């Protein structure tokens, strides 16, 4: 009887602490935007990195655009960058004055507004308008459909609508047709960008849309999610879970798969501080701010998700602060564009709508190193991070990292139980110093990891004055280091 009980307990312990704890990462890139891959931090911490201001890239200066433009989306399609946004010169007669506008770029930095000749707006066809007169309140939200085998005439898809979401599609991202005029989803509050994309990880279309919840008698803007296999039939919505974090007014959430690790969804969310008035009435009037848009302020926060209805709010601090100048502290300024895109060999860009309701309304670009949202950060005195057990595919471990001249990083491979593996001990790790995106990790006389491919392991990172942004296993060729 005791033996049987022992075996049952052993099976239970194995299920709870053995295979079920081992995650298969294959050869995908893993970022440290959350604690998913981390089991222990000792003397190190996760650090959020604020993007660098790279300046204004596009002004809303056409007669059909104006100070109330919004709902910005950036899509990189091979060598072309496409920008979509609502044109809205007035806060009144919205249904008759709102358009959807288009700009494009070869590098994501210098943008132009082509004369498309699709719609007559304000007496001219010489404009950059792709939608006009459809009664949408500026929340058209397109995406490039990456689903395998997709019809080329429907490479681009979008949802848009004020009271319900209507699907449309395009071959070139410029000329659009409705897939159907009947709404495909009606169970939400759609007065901001409602984003959709194909998830390779979950094998379905996802839509994240704005919703409301009531907590202790107070209403909060929040996010819900629905899924679809065909972009037409959508499941009942599910409220997103933000974990054990304070309730805040999350407005435009801009959830999208990160282009270098699409199993991780990055959310650049607008956090509205409702009723937090920074400008005096006189200051607002001097800026030309509409009276209804000077009573609040907002900033950007970073969230992430790995599927399902869970957001990880690893950081409650601002990702991008409003910045210096009174013009940055009006209601609904500092709203992020949808998508982070690569704009250089080592750089990616975030775009933000600034100066809302002001004649200076524009889109601004901010930059980060690739994968540079968050790092495992070690101070000068040093520390270490140990991962959870995982399986990988490949023979080389590459790191995106940076150290100071005095800093360093070493890596040890361990068994799931935490024992150093022979040949991959910390003392055999070749010290890493520098600043690189794809640094190969090596061990003296044993650089080839192929013998461990597919086996459960842990990684132990010992760091000093260093930042670790991401890791990735891949197949490469090696020469033994003597």
Q: Where does the pLDDT of residue 149 fall: very low under 50, low under 70, confident under 90, or very high at 90 and above? A: very high
Summarised one tens digit per residue, pLDDT across range 204-215 is 999 999 999 999
What is the model's pLDDT at position 136? 59
What is the model's pLDDT at position 176? 95
What is the model's pLDDT at position 293? 86
Of the listed ranges 19-23, 234-238, 266-270, 272-276, the least confidently predicted one is: 19-23
For the segment 322-335, the average pLDDT, to the nearest whole number, is: 94
For the segment 297-317, the average pLDDT, to the nearest whole number, is: 97
What is the model's pLDDT at position 15? 41
What is the model's pLDDT at position 88? 86
Instruction: Judge whether residue 6 has pLDDT over 50.
Output: no
For the segment 25-47, the average pLDDT, to the nearest whole number, is: 97
pTM to 2 decimal places: 0.92
SS (H, E, C) the chain: CHHHHHHHHHHHHHHHHCHHHCEEEECCCEECCCCCCEEEEECCEEEECCCEEEEEEEECCCCCCCCCCEEEEEEEECCEEEEEEEECCCCCCHHHHCEEEEEEECCCCCEECCCCCCCCECCECCCCEEEECCCCCCCCEEEECCCCCCCHHHCEEEEECCCCEEEEEECCCCCEEECCCCCCECCCCCCCCCEEEEECCCCEEEEEEEEEEEECCEEEEEEEEEEECCCCCECCCEECECCCCCCCEECCCCEEEECCEEEEEEEEEEEEECCCCCCCHHHHHHHCCCHHHCCCEEEEEEEEECCCCECECCCCCCCECCCCCHHHCCCCCCEECECCEECCCCEEEEEEEECCCCCCCEEEEEEEECCCCEEEEECCCCEEEEECCEEECCCEEEEEEEEEEEEEEEEEEECCCCCECCCCCHHHECCECCEEEEEECCECCCCCCHHHCCCCEEEEEEEEEEEEEEEEEECCCCCCCC
What is the model's pLDDT at position 8? 37
What is the model's pLDDT at position 479? 47
For the segment 249-269, the average pLDDT, to the nearest whole number, is: 96
What is the model's pLDDT at position 135? 61
For the segment 328-357, the average pLDDT, to the nearest whole number, is: 96
Q: Where does the pLDDT of residue 152 fall: very low under 50, low under 70, confident under 90, or very high at 90 and above? A: very high
For the segment 340-347, the average pLDDT, to the nearest whole number, is: 98
């Amino acid at each position: 009887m005791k033996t049987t009980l022992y075996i049952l307990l052993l099976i239970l312990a194995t299920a709870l602490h053995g295979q079920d704890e081992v995650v298969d990462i294959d050869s995908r890139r893993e970022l440290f935007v959350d604690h998913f891959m981390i089991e222990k931090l000792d003397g190190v911490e996760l650090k959020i990195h604020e993007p660098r201001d790279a300046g204004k890239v596009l002004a809303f200066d056409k007669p059909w655009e104006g100070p109330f433009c919004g709902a910005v989306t950036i899509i990189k399609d091979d060598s072309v960058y496409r920008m979509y946004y609502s044109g809205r010169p007035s806060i009144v007669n919205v249904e008759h004055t709102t358009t959807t506008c288009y700009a494009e770029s070869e590098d994501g930095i210098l943008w132009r507004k082509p004369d498309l000749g699709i719609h007559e707006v304000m007496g001219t066809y010489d404009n950059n308008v792709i939608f006009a007169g459809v009664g949408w309140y500026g929340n058209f939200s397109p995406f490039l459909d990456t689903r395998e085998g997709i019809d080329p005439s429907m490479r681009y898809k979008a949802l848009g609508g004020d009271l319900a979401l209507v699907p449309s599609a395009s071959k070139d991202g410029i000329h659009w047709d409705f897939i159907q005029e009947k709404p495909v989803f009606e169970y939400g509050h759609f007065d901001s960008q409602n984003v959709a994309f194909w998830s390779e990880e979950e094998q379905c279309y996802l839509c994240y849309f704005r919703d409301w919840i009531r907590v202790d008698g107070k209403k909060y803007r929040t996010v819900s999610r629905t899924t679809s296999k065909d972009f037409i039939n959508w499941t009942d919505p599910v409220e997103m879970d933000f974990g054990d974090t304070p309730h805040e007014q999350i407005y435009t959430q801009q959830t999208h798969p990160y282009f270098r690790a699409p199993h991780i969804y990055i959310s650049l969310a607008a956090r509205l501080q409702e009723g937090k008035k920074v400008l005096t009435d006189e200051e607002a009037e001097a800026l030309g701010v509409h009276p209804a848009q000077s009573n609040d302020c907002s900033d950007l926060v970073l969230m992430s998700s790995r599927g399902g209805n869970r957001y990880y709010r690893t950081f409650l601090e601002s990702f991008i602060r409003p910045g210096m100048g009174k013009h940055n502290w009006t209601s609904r300024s500092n709203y992020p564009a949808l998508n982070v895109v690569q704009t250089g060999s080592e750089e990616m860009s975030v775009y933000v709508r600034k100066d809302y309701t002001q004649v200076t309304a524009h889109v601004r670009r901010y930059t980060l190193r690739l994968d540079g949202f968050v790092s495992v950060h070690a101070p000068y005195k040093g520390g270490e991070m140990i991962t959870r057990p995982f399986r990988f595919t490949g023979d080389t471990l590459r790191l995106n990292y940076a150290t100071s001249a005095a800093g360093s990083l070493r890596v040890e491979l361990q068994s799931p139980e935490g024992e150093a593996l022979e040949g991959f001990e910390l003392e055999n790790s070749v010290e890493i110093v520098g600043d690189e995106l794809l640094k190969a990790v090596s061990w003296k006389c044993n650089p080839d990891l192929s013998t461990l491919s597919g086996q459960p392991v842990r990684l132990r990172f010992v760091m000093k004055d260093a930042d670790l942004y991401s890791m990735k296993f891949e197949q490469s060729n090696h020469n033994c280091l003597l």
